[in-house]
A and B are shown apart, each in its own frame.
Chain A
Amino acid sequence: MLIEELFMTSVRGIIANKLRSFLTMLGIIIGVASVITMLALGEGAKLKVSNSIKQLGTNLLFISPGISRRGPIRMSNVQTLTFEDAEAIKSEIPYVDNIAPENSRNYQIKYFNKNTNAPVYGTIPSYEYVRNFKTIDGRFINDNDLKTMKRVCIIGQTVKNELFGEAFSPIGQEIKIKGITFEIIGLLEEKGQSNFGDNDNIIIVPLTTFQKRLAGVSHIQNISVKIISENLMSEAEKLIEELLRKRHKIKQGAENDFTIRNQAEFLETMNEITKTFTYLLAGVATVSLIVGGIGIMNIMLVSVTERTREIGIRKAIGATKKNILFQFLLESIIVSVTGGILGIALGYGFSFLASKLTEFDTYITIDSILISFLFSVSIGLFFGIYPANKAAKLSPIEALRYE
């Protein structure tokens, strides 16, 4: 009963000063809304990274020529990797499921008067399986295409849309890559965006065709190796390293002339980056919550002074210190919690906007809602305790004498 009455008193006090209460809440509202939005963005980025990596599969190893000194910079003129290296890995390493060597380059693509730019990949039939592609129309390249250096290609959805529009089957059509005519024999299923760019802006041709007819090279730029199980990755990596060192005749103590990277490592780094990003954003949001809390404290102190006489009256007729403390504490908690709830609603709005305006999807987790709710309760408690205590400590006669 007492609690109920004190609660009503606090609510009435807040409603009586609508504008002031709202302005006080604003700090908390903005703080909570930004916490929610930041965490939603962070979560969205995290999901996107892990999705694009899972799309490729986590049991992939990538071998590229040259030394990678941590980071994405690769020397493209290094030509130490060959098709025979790839074949040797497949036949000599036990845990290898399959391999797919590739070579790629950006070329101008033409279809009558339409043209576009796309990376062209020269590879072998196993590429479809190793890299998780799916041919939904026509077929993928086969061994015969490879043997006869056929001028055939498989295109991704983006290329198709650029050149042919939405509703038109491109199979059997002829396009020009670097001025050479190729027949389209297959269409790939849509893969979507990832951090590596547009996965659908791609053209696949037989490796031999690419090496002889397009680029005029004999080396390999990348070998994708699919390992039979994720927990054999490091073992396989070690064996491949040994094999390639032997094949490339690298002396003991000398550095590798190739680099092996694996998906799990990559996933970890990306997670690390998004985590730091999330914490940073959450930190910024926390600062704004604290600023909001100071706003509450400020207004509560004013309110205590303004209501000194009321406090005196209440004490004269029997309110204890605890009663007064509770009344004012309740008021600051109600303000901060109301602000918190409005902030969560606004956070939903912001997240929705953010997902529309950026290329990130946003995900609001239950955790982030709970965290911001608890945070606003504690802000109300923490910043309300000092003013409430000040009110509770007032002596009744002095409070009654206050003009």
Chain B
Amino acid sequence: MEIVKLENICKKYYLDEIEIEVLKNINLSINQGEFVAIMGPSGSGKTTLMSILGCLDSPTSGNYYLENQNVSHLTDNELAKIRNKKIGFVFQTFNLLSKSNALENVKLPLIYGRVKNKNELAEQALNIVGLSDRKKHKPAELSGGQRQRVAIARAIVTTPSIIMADEPTGNLDSKTGLEIMNIFCELHKKGVTIILVTHEQDIAKYAKRKIYLKDGLIISDERVN
């Protein structure tokens, strides 16, 4: 089933009347259960593409269908609901709330989603990433790898349609990075759709499909078996 479909997506920024076209006519289709790596040089527009895919930003033009719903022109409120229910984010800099402990951080999306049995679900998610014994730890009391695992638990706790990870291993050493990638692989095996941005071939090799971006254009799209 087609879960993501981009049609002629363009994104332009305006800086003092100067137009910067960051994404130029992107067409892309991703199916349910795929594990996709988006690669490309710095400044090629990967993060921008991820923001649009993650409904954090709207395209300047073009259409984006998420699970067959056109989300290109939704209101802020509707986008917030979609982010909450259908998308799980993992960021390079973890982006956890520093004053809340691991469990509270994982519970946060459930709170905004008004989901019942939050504690149970959050503990399950922490269990999946192997952090059941660090529930009460604040981010400052966790290692980088552990923080990223909390972030992954927060991303999967709502059982979203897609997990979006923007350089999730960028701030980790290579060994810890591989541990994180193993968690993504496990999730992929369970059928979760994953879109991952990375610079590193070592990381990208876990994915089953690699998309190369350059200057806002897709220059190659290859599937690996």
Contact = CB atoms under 8 A, between A and B. Distances in A.
Interface of A: 1-2, 5, 12-13, 16, 309-310, 312-323, 395-397, 400
A318 B95 contact: no
B112 A318 contact: yes
Interface of B: 51, 54, 56-57, 76-77, 80-81, 83-85, 89, 91, 95-97, 99, 108-109, 111-114, 154
A95 B65 CA distance: 96
Given A2-B114, A5-B111, A315 B80 contact: yes
A314 B114 contact: no
A317 B109 contact: yes
A397 B89 CA distance: 12
Given A316-B89, A316-B95, A319-B80, A397 B56 contact: yes
A349 to B, nearest CB: 34
Contacts of B85: 318
Contacts of B91: 400
B114 A318 contact: no
B99 A317 contact: no
B76 A317 contact: no
A384 B95 CA distance: 26
A5 B112 CA distance: 9
Main secondary structure of the interface of B (DSSP, over half): helix
A323 B51 contact: no
A310 B99 CA distance: 10
B138 to A, nearest CB: 12
15 contacts: A1-B111, A13-B99, A16-B99, A310-B97, A313-B95, A316-B56, A316-B83, A317-B83, A318-B83, A320-B77, A320-B80, A396-B57, A397-B51, A397-B57, A400-B95
Contact of A318 (B51, B97, B99, B109): B109
Nearest to A313: B95
Contacts of B96: 313
A318 B56 contact: no
Nearest to A13: B99
B57 A317 contact: no
A319 B85 CA distance: 11
A317 B157 CA distance: 11
A318 B81 contact: yes
Contacts of A5: 111
| Residue of B56, B80, B81, B97 ringed by the most chain A CB atoms within 10 A | B80
Contact of B114 (A1, A13, A310, A315): A1
Contacts of B54: 316
A395 B77 CA distance: 12
Contacts of A397: 51, 56-57
Nearest to A392: B76
Contact of A314 (B56, B76, B81, B108): B108
A5 B109 CA distance: 12
| Residue of A16, A316, A322, A395 ringed by the most chain B CB atoms within 10 A | A316
Given A2-B114, A316-B54, A316-B56, 20 more contacts: A1-B111, A2-B111, A12-B99, A13-B99, A16-B99, A312-B95, A315-B83, A316-B95, A317-B108, A317-B109, A318-B81, A318-B83, A318-B85, A318-B109, A321-B76, A321-B77, A321-B80, A322-B77, A397-B51, A400-B56
| Residue of A16, A310, A320 ringed by the most chain B CB atoms within 10 A | A320
Given A396-B56, A397-B56, A320 B95 contact: no
B35 to A, nearest CB: 22
A320 B95 CA distance: 18
A6 B7 CA distance: 39
Contacts of B112: 2, 314, 317-320, 323
B64 to A, nearest CB: 15
B111 A320 contact: no
B167 to A, nearest CB: 13
B76 A320 contact: yes
Given A12-B99, A309-B95, A397-B57, A317 B84 contact: yes
Nearest to A393: B76
Contacts of A318: 80-81, 83-85, 109, 112-113
Contacts of A315: 80, 83
A19 to B, nearest CB: 17
A367 to B, nearest CB: 40
Nearest to B115: A1
A13 B84 CA distance: 24
| Residue of A13, A310, A317, A396 ringed by the most chain B CB atoms within 10 A | A317
A319 B80 CA distance: 6
A320 B75 CA distance: 11
